[in-house]
Amino acid sequence: MFTGLIEEKGNVREIAFHGENARIVIGANIVTRDAKSGDSISVNGVCLTALDIRPDSFAADVSRETLDRSTLGSLSKGSPVNLERAVTPSTRLGGHIVQGHVDGRGTFVAATQEGDFWTVRIGFPSEFARYLVYKGSVAVEGISLTVAALAEDHFDIAVIPKTWELTNLSSLKPGDPVNLEADVIAKYVERMLGIQSSEFKL
């Protein structure tokens, strides 16, 4: 589990495809400090198992399912990535509960600067709409963000200077795909209401 508060912007050093799967090597200096083989690290919002950990890098194996569902398969050498270590029992939950289980891909539409702040617009697929509410939480590229405006096919987020500088949002271009994860509470509520509705009909 993660908080969606990015600790470091790393970069892809290598990505090698082996059949339908891949191994990715990420350059990093902060998330590797106390990491052990088998620990979970969020890479652009995708929970990966860290392997071959070194002071300035770690590797991870990525399955076909993860490549298909997320944007990891479209990364290339040098791509910036958002990194976060899994929470510990003493971690302050400053963002929201982020599982690192990507629900789908959205699209970076535009970013508008307003002083030192930015308004970022993200397009989303129709099946993702039911999990979005105004002022609700959403994870974009693993970043815990708040929906500042909501339309039928896109939402806006207000990005503070620290987030703009620390994450890969500043390197995205219009049309670039992004990983989206809905608030897990919304998914549980949907599931429970669906079960209750089915039981009522019986």
Q: What are the boundaries of each domain within the chain?
A: 8-85, 104-189
- Which residues 6+ apart lie within 8 Å of 98 measured at CB? 1, 2, 3, 4, 42, 45, 139, 142, 144, 181
Return the pLDDT at 199: 56
What value does the mean pLDDT of the chain take? Answer: 93
**Check whether domain 104-189 has CATH 1.25.10.10, yes or no:** no
Return the pLDDT at 198: 59
Give the separation between CA 22 and CA 67, rounded to whole angstroms: 8
131-149: average pLDDT: 96
Pick the CATH number of 8-85 from 2.40.30.20, 3.30.930.10, 3.90.870.10, 3.90.1300.10: 2.40.30.20
Tell me the CA end-to-end span of the chain in Å, nearest whole number: 36
DSSP 167: S
Model confidence pLDDT, tens digit, residues 174-184: 999 999 999 99
Model pTM?
A: 0.90
Q: Is the pLDDT of residue 202 over 70?
A: no
DSSP 70: S
Give the separation between CA 48 and CA 55, rounded to whole angstroms: 18
Task: Judge whether 86 and 98 are in contact, CB under 8 Å.
Answer: no
